[in-house]
Amino acid sequence: MESCQWGSTPDGGMNRLTLNDDDKRVREWFIAQVKQYGCAVTVDAVGNIFATRPGTNNALPPIGLGSHLDTQPAGGKYDGIVGVLSALEVLKSLHDNNVQTYAPIAVIDWTNEEGARFPPAMLGSGVWAGKFTPEYAYGRTDLKGAKLGDELKRIGFKGEVPASYEANPLSAHYEVHIEQGPVLEAENKPIAVVTGVQAITWFNVELRGREQHCGTTPMDRRADTLLAAAQMIVGINAVALSIPGALASVAVINSTPQSINTLASSVQFNIDARATDDATLARLEAALEQRCREVAAQSGVELRAWDRFWNAKRTVFDERMVGFVRESAAEGGFASRDIQSGAGHDSVYTAARVPTSMIFIRCKGGISHNPAEYSSPEDIAAGAQVLLGAVLKYDAY
Amino acid sequence: MESCQWGSTPDGGMNRLTLNDDDKRVREWFIAQVKQYGCAVTVDAVGNIFATRPGTNNALPPIGLGSHLDTQPAGGKYDGIVGVLSALEVLKSLHDNNVQTYAPIAVIDWTNEEGARFPPAMLGSGVWAGKFTPEYAYGRTDLKGAKLGDELKRIGFKGEVPASYEANPLSAHYEVHIEQGPVLEAENKPIAVVTGVQAITWFNVELRGREQHCGTTPMDRRADTLLAAAQMIVGINAVALSIPGALASVAVINSTPQSINTLASSVQFNIDARATDDATLARLEAALEQRCREVAAQSGVELRAWDRFWNAKRTVFDERMVGFVRESAAEGGFASRDIQSGAGHDSVYTAARVPTSMIFIRCKGGISHNPAEYSSPEDIAAGAQVLLGAVLKYDAY
Ligand SMILES: NC(=O)NCCC(=O)O
Ligand SMILES: NC(=O)NCCC(=O)O
């Protein structure tokens, strides 16, 4: 397990942006691992890797155990990675104990879950679920203009199998993940039974004002694009604070022409908007748009793009699958509680096609998307054990 | 004149960042021009080009006629360029009419006046005036990390002559420039007699907060660096509006790690602060710092750098030199008025060492640092004529 550290950073974190050279190396490592356990490997057209261990009845679609090996640019060693490693532990355990499952089991590394390099997030599982076309995914670009499709080819992970739940089906999907929030730690419990995922929308916003000389243009004769963007960012925060259950964040900004004595003429930024349910998210989105349009009108800066380029509705996981997780945790003697996830996961998209649920494990201080991310070996082992139990329950059923 | 268009952009503007390939070409063109008029060319250690036409008494330091050929990244065709072309017109006129001046005349292209690529502004004239060391200038870096010293060498303009008012003296300095403000147009006058330049300070500001997950971190548990920066930008604007005679602008911002679902952990931005006099600028600076420190304290974001890396005090030009410009404008029959410049100019630094003054010409809508910058051929000709008259007056004196 220590051997999947490509992209480690000196501060204890990871920088393994999807489809970079380190992602290629960890994918190759993953394939070598699963081959030890007698798995057949298929790579689909968007680079999702399926490692399938046969069962008794191989006419059945496999039970998926998936997560992701890509990370944030300054992320941690646990987000996603723990899910894939837990699935590998389940494989190893079945293999070492010569357990024959009824259905085949597929351990999956989904492509571009983070969305950090190629927005939006959960793109690989989204294509598999038919939420995006492969062409849409291929055309996504990173900050330097590289295209996802070209990067897939470059690292040799553009597979032959169609990226589709129809051509390459699963019968169910389980995912272990770190909580990325502070609830389990506060309640001193190692495990959460994930009942669903909150609703998410990402916006791309583009503003156009005027290049003007900072030293000669009176304060009241400006169309200052960066000032307008700043007013919007402050407004976005205020709007989110005013709506219970809502979150809104701006974490990407690009300003042009970046000269100290010339007011910016164009600014691009993104908004990450979330809410516990779809109705609250709709209310949040409307309020954000209204606030930004007000700022634009008052500042003489044009709102050139207000592009709602990604929405993932609130997900409610399959009751039976959630029940299997809850039972498995109880049988393992692990204190647990139900939780709705704040972060998106590949399970959001698999849930659209097959019965899905998730297992969260406690993480330190709720810190995630940060090099300081941490879960203890004991909690990780607990997660893997709950996963194994839940898989066997689904298989028996 | 049409032949110095390297770096022209399709929108009618110019992108000739200092020491890029287009700046190399325009420098070579400049040297070819001045050689036609019998000038000796020297390039100093920071790339300032002096084209000297002998006078009767060549023991005297030359009268300098300088400005700059570099531009903003999305700048106009007039800022700086008009000053060099006016000086070339004076040369041509002396040459064509076989006028022998008493003192030699030096037409000067100062390096990196804009400061857009290598902050701060007026760096070449600043080194000449002893305000910066050559080493300081060589070490300035652009957004891509290229160093000014390396770029000077790369384009072949790191000269042998020391960049110094002592080793390479002038006796006076005149500069023609577009107004970059709306006053002359509003008063329907082609010419302004520039009496001085307002005070300028540039800050580098660096903030450090925490990378956190945008979807799982409650709004009240964040150290959101980009939000803090936005609050500061809004505050900086409010502070400037509250102080008569003050301007403050933020036009450069860099945020890390630029991932839509991870709150920014570090943000860098610059402040351009100006005021009509030094006392007002001091008041402005103190209020800006106080506001930014308040935001930092309230948001849990650390103000890691508050670096006042450039200050140019208010400049008052030499009375006699100003008088020569005023008389020359009157003799040419051009309506004029006195003005204090809002923009910095190479003349700020020459004024620290030799009698200096400037001539402004009217520009459309006061627009500058913008591709739409414009001055009419008639107004430019008027500026050159006033310059010639002022030069001859100083020479006679
Ligand atoms: N789990 C996780 O951090 N996924 C990234 C997608 C999101 O932004 O929620
Ligand atoms: N003239 C001019 O635009 N100079 C640039 C220096 C400044 O920022 O004022």
Mention every residue, 6+ apart, whose C-beta is less than 8 A from residue B361: B82, B176, B177, B178, B179, B184, B190, B191, B192, B375, B379, B380, B382, B383
pLDDT over 70 percentage in chain A? 99
From the CA of B110, the nearest ligand is 2
Q: Can you give the three-state secondary structure of A268-317, one letter per residue?
A: EEEEEEEECCHHHHHHHHHHHHHHHHHHHHHHCCEEEEEEEEEEECCEEC
**pLDDT tens digits for A155-205?**
999 999 999 999 999 999 999 999 999 999 999 999 999 999 999 999 999
> Quick check: A3 pLDDT over 90?
no
C-beta separation of B149 from B109 below 8 A: no
The reported pTM is 0.94
**CA torsion, ordered A382, A385, A387, A391, to nearest 10 deg:** -170
Residue B63 has what pLDDT? 97
Q: Which residues of chain B have pLDDT under 70?
A: 1-3
- Determine whether A250 is exposed, middle or buried from the number of CB atoms within 10 Å of its CB (0-12, 13-18, 19+): buried
A178 Cα–ligand 1 center, Å: 11
A93 Cα–ligand 1 center, Å: 28
d(CA A130, CA A163): 8
Q: Does A339 touch chain B (CB under 8 A)?
A: no
> Quick check: A1 pLDDT over 70?
no
Per-residue pLDDT band for A120 (boundaries 50, 70, 90) equals very high
Residue B170 has what pLDDT? 98
Residue B276 has what pLDDT? 97
Residue B4 has what pLDDT? 73
Look at B227 and A211 and tell me if their CB atoms are within 8 Å.
Answer: no
Look at A261 and B251 and tell me if their CB atoms are within 8 Å.
Answer: yes
Look at B260 and A272 and tell me if their CB atoms are within 8 Å.
Answer: yes
B-chain residues near A115 (CB < 8 A): 260-261
**pLDDT tens digits for B295-349?**
999 999 999 999 999 999 999 999 999 999 999 999 999 999 999 999 999 999 9
CB–CB contacts below 8 A, A to B: 239
Which residue of A9, A216, A361 is the best one to mutate when testing the B interface, meaning the one whose CB has the most B CBs within 10 A? A216
Q: Which of residues 36-95 of A touch B (CB under 8 A)?
A: 72-75
Residue B2 has what pLDDT? 47
C-beta separation of A213 from A261 below 8 A: yes
Per-residue pLDDT band for A2 (boundaries 50, 70, 90) equals very low
Rounded to the nearest angstrom, the minimum Cα separation between A392 and chain B is 31
